[in-house]
Amino acid sequence: MNKTHNNKYSVVSLFSGCGGLDLGFKGNFSSLGKKYNSRSFEIKWANDFDEKACITFAKNFSDPIVCGDILQILKGNYPDLLSPKMPQKADIVLGGFPCQEFSLAGKRRGFRSKRGILYQSMVETVSRLRPAIFVAENVKGLLSMDNGEAIKTIVKDFSALGYSVVYKLHHAADFGVPQSRERVVIVGTDKKRNLPAFEYPKQTHSKENWINLKQAIGDLVNIPEGAIQNHYWSKAKMFKGTQGNSIVSKDKIGPTMRAEHHGNIEFHWDEKRRLSAREAARIQTFPDDFIFYPSTSSAYKQIGNAVPPVLGWHIAGAVERFLDKYLV
C-alpha cells in the first residue's frame, strides 16, 4: 500500500476552514465523553482562503496550512509568497468546497457564482495529484439545485478524470452528532488502479438514541461566561420569526449550526442567553481543547462552516478500511 514513511496515508486538504474534517481524519480526540482513536492519515498540505480560520487551524494542528485563494495557487500566481508548496501527489484529497451557494437557506445561486464553481479547483487538484480516493462534502441543497443538474455536473466532471464517483446524504445525528445536519458526501475512487466504488460507513445511532442537547451541553448551563475557552455568546436581542431566533430544546438534538448567523445563533433552553461559541462547538463535536480564534463572531462562523469531526472520523474510518483492503 502507498503509505508515507510513518505508515500513514498522505492527505491534501482543500477548503479546510478551521479543520473539522481534518480532525476527523486524524482522530485522537475526545468529544462528548467518548474517545476517538487515531486514524492512519497525515495532512501533508491544507488550504483555505479565510485568514481567521487559518489561524485557528494553525494553532490547533501541527500540520501546515497555506492561506490563499486556491484558484490563484493552482494558476501559479503565488510563486514566492505561499509555503509550503502543494505536493505533487497524495493518497487522498479532501474538500468541503463552499456550500452557501447551494444551501436551501441561502440564495441558491449555485454555479452562477464564483464560490459555486470552486469545486472545479478540487477537480483540478484531483487531476494533478491523482489520489487513490477523494472525499468532498456539501449541503443537502446541492442535490436539488437546478433540478438535480448541479450534482450531475459535479459527478460528470470528476468521473471524466477516471474516477468511480458515488454520493450519499448523511444525517450527522446518525453518527453521534447532537445536531440536525444533513450533508452530501461525494467520494471518488481511481478506476485506473482498479479500485471499486466506495463503501460508506454504517450509521451508529438511530433516531431513538440520538444524543440530545442536555447530554451534549447540559454541564455548561451554569458555567459563567468566559470561565472556559470560547464560552462567550452573542448579545443580539430576539427578533421573532427570523432565522436563528428560536429557543433550543434540551430534550432534542440541536439545530444546524450555521456560518451566516449574523449574531442570531439560537437561544439556550433557559431563555436567558444565546448559545455560546463553546456550546456550538460541542454541538459540532469539537473537543473542548480545540480553541477558536480570534473572536466569538469568527468562532461562530468557523464552527458553522466546519464538518463535524465525529462525522469526519466515521467517514475516515471507511476510507481507511477501503484503502487497507484495496490499495496495494
Residue whose C-alpha cell is 443537502: 140
**Which of 170, 161, 171, 158 has the alpha carbon at shortest distance from 95?**
158
Give the active site residues.
99
pLDDT of residue 114: 55
Backbone angles phi, psi at 155, to 5 degrees: -60, -40
pLDDT tens digit string along 233-287?
A: 999 988 776 777 899 999 999 999 998 776 789 999 999 999 999 999 999 999 9
**Do the strands 182-190 and 133-139 form a parallel or antiparallel pair, or are they unpaired?**
antiparallel
Ordered alpha helix ranges (H), the chain: 20-26, 51-60, 70-75, 119-129, 149-159, 213-217, 277-283, 296-305, 309-326
pLDDT of residue 108: 43
pLDDT of residue 79: 57
pLDDT of residue 143: 92
pTM of this prediction?
A: 0.92
Q: Which residues of the chain have pLDDT under 50?
A: 1, 5, 103-106, 108-111, 113
Task: Catalogue all structural domains in the chain, each as residue range(s) with its CATH number.
Answer: 9-206+306-326 (3.40.50.150)
d(CA 185, CA 200): 9
pLDDT tens digit string along 204-224?
A: 999 999 999 999 999 999 999
d(CA 161, CA 119): 14
Residue 179 contacts residue 304 (beta carbons within 8 Å): no
In single-letter form, the type of residue at position 211 comes to I
pLDDT of residue 112: 53
**Which of 110, 105, 51 has the alpha carbon at shortest distance from 261?**
105
pLDDT of residue 88: 94
